[in-house]
Structure 1
Amino acid sequence: MEVHDLMAQALAHVMAQVEASKSDMAAYAARYLTSRHRDNPSKGCPIAALGCETARQSTEARVALAKGIQARIEQFAESMSTAGMDDERARRAAIGGMAAMVGAMILARLTDDKAFSADLLDETRAWITDNAGGQRS
């Protein structure tokens, strides 16, 4: 088996866990955008940890990661639609929220300034809560 096949299989396995961990976007962001997640990339989100590298991998690896991203976005959008947000706005908020979470995590990991890193996580979490129609904790 080639390395590309192994990576695709590993990503497919990890991203399949998306189906098992349904959550609304604000609750997910509260768990995702934390210093614990930031400081433990090997135990966290494969999108933030491997997304840039996966873009240079096989089609199979990219498809596996993309399917997981799409599934998570669909779950977020469905949760917001069920809570009363119109479908188009829910999808836009889900895509924006997912992109914001992953981007914030990557940026928070890039900086050596812990206060700025914490701001990136905290302010993105607050923004997602505001745009997902959730309650701030």
Structure 2
Amino acid sequence: MKVSKEKAAENRAAIVKAAGRLFRERGFDKVGVAEITKAAGLTHGGFYGHFASKDALAAEACEAAFAESLNRLPADEVSPDGALDAFLTRYLSELHRDRPDGGCPMSIFAMEVGRLDPAVQERFGVGVERFLEVVAQRLPDGEADETGRRARAIAIVSALVGGMALARATARAEPELSAEILAALRDQLGALGSGAG
């Protein structure tokens, strides 16, 4: 039976969403095509009608994971704490730490992407660039110049990614240390973002 274009697009989107969740939860190499299609509610046989390879899916899932994360950012704009502080509080939360399957792809994929297909690396790079732009836009207006704003944004994003990786790595064995890492980064990055760092 022929599937309509709308249903085919719906199935493709379901595969991408399931892949993004599973890749963030367990990593690219630890998830197979059969598991992804099953999580999407589809059969394994239809996968190659949508994607040429698992790498092609990984590239699209990476891009979709960044879009999902970036789509949450407008809510920060209306926070009484300010957009940057609201973003830092949400990013460096125990909820984000404990739910990598729905979280920011940078802290999950950063260590793996360098070993993956160039298409995945390219999509990851584009996503990181978009995050840097968003963080730079949230910095106080007093930053001297565009180069200084970008350097400050790079420092903040790099600390977020590394800090979240450390918080996740210590969460089970050293939960107090994990919470301390998140709290210290919220304080320190907030100061860096305000120009006090």
- For the superposition of Structure 1 and Structure 2, which TM-score range results when normalised by the shorter chain? 0.7 to 0.9
Letter in 1 for 2:179: A
Higher helix share: 1
Size of the aligned set, in residue pairs, is: 134
Runs of 4+ in 1 over 3 A off after TM superposition: 17-20, 22-25
- Note the C-alpha offset of 1:79: 2.6
Partner of 1:49: 108
**Distance in 2 of aligned mates of 1:96 and 1:74:** 13
**Distance in 1 of aligned mates of 2:161 and 2:89:** 13
**Distance in 2 of aligned mates of 1:63 and 1:94:** 20
- Note the C-alpha offset of 1:78: 2.3
- Give the alignment partner of residue 84 of structure 1, picking from 139, 142, 159: 142
Partner of 2:21: none
**Distance in 2 of aligned mates of 1:19 and 1:50:** 16
Contact 2:55 2:120 in 1 (8 A): yes
Runs of 5+ unmatched residues, structure 2: 1-51, 77-82
State the TM-score, normalized to the length of structure 2.
0.63
Relative contact order (C-alpha < 8 Å, sep 6+): which is higher? 1
State the TM-score, normalized to the length of structure 1.
0.88
SS in 2 for 1:84: coil
Q: Report % sequence identity.
A: 28
Runs of 5+ unmatched residues, structure 1: none
Contact 1:54 1:61 in 2 (8 A): yes
- Note the C-alpha offset of 1:95: 0.4
Q: Confirm or deny that 1:15 pairs with 2:74.
A: no
Letter in 2 for 1:132: G
Contact 2:85 2:190 in 1 (8 A): yes
Letter in 2 for 1:48: S
Q: Confirm or deny that 1:2 pairs with 2:60.
A: no
Structure with bigger gyration radius:
2
Contact 2:65 2:104 in 1 (8 A): no
- Note the C-alpha offset of 1:19: 5.0
RMSD, aligned CA:
1.9
SS in 1 for 2:139: helix
Q: Confirm or deny that 1:113 pairs with 2:174.
A: yes
- Note the C-alpha offset of 1:45: 1.2
